[in-house]
Amino acid sequence: MMIKSKKSNDTHWMVRFILLQIAFLLVLNSLIVAMKIHNLTREIFLCSLFVILYICFSIAFLKIFKRSSNKKIKIKYKNESGEKPEYWSYHDILTGLPNRSYFENIIPIKLSEAQLMNHKVTVLFIGLDNFKKINDTLGHAIGDSIIKEVAKRLFSSNDESYETIRFGGDEFVIVMSGHKNLSEIEKSIKKIKQAFMAGFDVNKEKIHLTASLGYAVYPEQAQEWKKLLQYADIAMYHAKSSGKNAVMMFHHDMCKD
C-alpha cells in the first residue's frame, strides 16, 4: 500500500492569518492612541503603518505562492494503479514518498517561510546501517519490503508539517520546520530515531536495523539549501564512522577531516 501525502496545513495558516489581522488592528489602535498622547507626527505614523502592512501582505503573498507551488508538485492519488505521470516525477515508486526532485522544489519554500516567520529549518539525513548486507544475504525483495516499512515508520513518526523524502537506496531525508530552538529539534529527532527501535518481521524472524542520522540547521549552519543538504550528509557519515546507530549535528570541524 502506498503512502499518501499528509493533509495540508491550510487551516493552521488561516488561523495564523486571522490572528495576524487581529494583531494588526491592535497595533494600529495603539499607534493612534500613541499619536494622540505623544503628538507623533503624521510621517512617523504613516511609516509605522506602512511597515505593518508590508509584513501582512508579505505573509499573505507567501501563502499564495506556497499553495501555487504545492499544486504543481503535490498531485493526489486517484487510485494506486492510475496515477498521473507528473506524480511519479516527484515521488518514489517503491515507497510512495516524495523524492529528491520534490525536495529540491519544496526546500526553498521552507526556507522562505522560516525567514519570514523567524523559525528554524532542519535537514535530517538518515542512512540505514549495514543495509547492503541485508540485500546480499536475504535478497533484494526482502530489502525492498524493509525499505517500505522504514518509510511508513518515518512518515508516521514525525509532525504533519515535516517532509519525509526517500533520497534513494537506503537513504532518507526529513525536512523539519517550525522549531524555535535546538532543544525542540533534538526532541523531534529523538522521536524519529525511535522508529528503528522495534525490529522488522521478515520470514517469521525479527531483523534489528539501526540508522545513522546527521542534521544541519538553518540559519545556524547554513542559509542556502544545497549547503544544508551537504552538511547534513557529512554529519550522517560522521555518525556512521563513529560506530553507527548515532545522531550527529553538523559542525564545521567535520569539513577538516
E-state strands within the chain: 120-128, 163-168, 171-179, 200-202, 205-207, 211-218, 247-249
Check pLDDT > 80 for residue 75. Answer: no
Q: What is the rounded average pLDDT for all residues in the chain?
A: 81
Q: What is the pLDDT of residues 228-240, one digit of tens each?
A: 999 999 999 999 9
Residue 188 CA to chain centroid, in angstroms?
11
Residue 170 appears among annotated catalytic residues: yes
Check pLDDT > 80 for residue 77. Answer: no
Of the listed ranges 81-95, 139-153, 175-189, 221-235, the one predicted with least confidence: 81-95
Fold of 90-256: Alpha-Beta Plaits (3.30.70)
Domain coordinates of the chain in residue numbers? Answer: 10-73, 90-256
173 strand-pairing partners: 125, 165
Q: What is the pLDDT of residues 190-201, one digit of tens each?
A: 999 998 988 888
Residue with the larger pLDDT of the pair 36 and 114: 114
Rounded Cα distance, 132 and 130, in Å: 5
Q: How confident is the model at residue 65 (pLDDT cuts 50, 70, 90)?
A: low
> Cell for 223?
542559509
> Cell for 245?
546507530
> Cell for 12?
493552521
From the list 10, 92, 136, 170, the catalytic residue is 170
Model pTM?
Answer: 0.70
> Cell for 34?
500613541
